[in-house]
Amino acid sequence: MRDRLRGWWLPIASCAILACGSQHVASNSPVKVLPGAAQLHFEGRFDGSDPSGPRFEWPGSTVWLRFDGTGAKVTLSEQSLETDEYGHAAHNWYDVFVDGQPAQPLLAAEGTQSYLLAAGLVRGEHRLALRKRTEAYVGVGQLLGFELDPGSKVLAAESPQRRLEFIGDSVTVGFGVDGSDASCLFSADTENYSHSYAALTAQDLGAAQIAVASSGAGVYRNWGGSTVETIGDLYPRVLPTDPASHWNFSAWTPDAVVINLGTEDFTSGDPGHDAFVGAYRSLLGRVRQTYPSALIVVALGPMLSDLWPQGAQALSRARAYVSEVVNATADPRVKLIEFDNQDEAGSYGCKSHPNAATHRRVADQLTAYLRAQLGW
């Protein structure tokens, strides 16, 4: 485990890591926006212990920049954490949005680099978002600042009033969502949180989002059977690869929490009633204690099936176990939803994960459900 500087944790709202904003050196010089500029808005869990700039790992981590100008660059530091299943070093991909429209996505290179985000814009006010589309174990990102065209002015970025938190596994991450079929293997190139049901639901509802999600993470046990570093272990962390990084839950309170877990627990067969139900009760209790008034939606994911693993009856057993957990709470603000099962071969992305069309269907289902429950 890498050594990491410790410190306070950056809240979601626009806040200063450093007590400074943009610096105008000369009228014909680029305008520097320091990573701690108060005008920036951070959406997700960011570690502010390094004065050089905030570090982040969770998928969906987003930085918003609003400015009056014609173009912008960003400087990022990238550290790869894993090799994909094709034997290549995996690197973070970022989605870029300019005035609400997707622009050219960005593939980060190892080390510190500057990247062009937008150029030749009509002079005036613009809103730019940089979102991490890959999951935590692909790599650590660090924001080192923005650079705007000469004569630009940084404006305060706005924050949505609605808030959603998603807790999940590879489905929530968007594992393989951009893959052509079930035969492709894991690659950062085909992983895309922006195409996941979680990101689409938040987008449809005009809500800010946090995704605490990791491929292979289970409630009681992970893919492969390990009971170490389950989602319960990762949930309190700012950086999931750093057990000592503690998230300040008072920094951001969601209106609703969607928990989509259990698929990984059943990949090695039935995890057992007592172990699974006990672990799920513990996680659900922690979420309720953390957010006393939030709507909590417990979901059965689209990958659960009675056909695989053979003899496990994964969907039927998961449905029974999770229903028992929800019913035992006797909490009217804890609800159960079962997502439509992916039962068509054409709906598969890499390694039989849901593809973009399946995620869109799940997002439509969840969006309608949340609208009804929250009155949005």
The secondary structure element, H or E, covering residue 371 is: helix 356-374
- What is the pLDDT at residue 344? 64
> Which one-letter DSSP state was computed for residue 301?
-
The mean per-residue pLDDT over the stretch 302-325 comes to 96
Residue 281 has pLDDT above 90, yes or no: yes
| The 3-state secondary structure of 12-43, one letter per residue | CCCCCCCCCCEECCCCCCCEEECCCCCCCEEE
The mean per-residue pLDDT over the stretch 313-335 comes to 98
Q: What is the dihedral of CA 139, 45, 20, 29, to 10 degrees?
A: 40
Mean per-residue pLDDT over the chain, rounded: 93
Report angle CA 198, 203, 208 to the nearest 5 degrees.
80
- What is the pLDDT at residue 8? 29
The mean per-residue pLDDT over the stretch 40-53 comes to 97
- What is the pLDDT at residue 343? 73
Residue 311 has pLDDT above 50, yes or no: yes
- What is the pLDDT at residue 375? 98
**Which residue type, as a one-letter code, is found at position 308?**
W
- Output 15 or 79, whichever has higher pLDDT: 79
Contact 270, 319 (CB under 8 A): no
For 51, counting Cβ atoms within 10 Å of its Cβ (0-12 exposed, 13-18 middle, 19+ buried), the class is exposed
Residue-wise pLDDT tens digits, 224-275: 999 999 999 999 999 999 999 999 999 999 999 999 999 999 999 999 999 9
**CB-side neighbour CA atoms (13 Å) of 75:** 12
The secondary structure element, H or E, covering residue 328 is: helix 314-329
> Which one-letter DSSP state was computed for residue 250?
G
Token couple for 270: 């039935």
The mean per-residue pLDDT over the stretch 338-344 comes to 85
What is the separation, in whole angstroms, between the first and last Cα of the chain?
Answer: 43
Residue 353 has pLDDT above 60, yes or no: yes
- What is the pLDDT at residue 345? 58
- Alpha-carbon distance 173 to 220, whole Å? 19
- Alpha-carbon distance 199 to 202, whole Å? 5
- What is the pLDDT at residue 6? 29
As beta bridge partners, residue 22 has 33
Domains of the chain: 10-155 (2.60.120.260), 162-374 (3.40.50.1110)
Residue 284 has pLDDT above 50, yes or no: yes
Token couple for 112: 């510190």
Residue 336 has pLDDT above 80, yes or no: yes
Residue 129 has pLDDT above 60, yes or no: yes
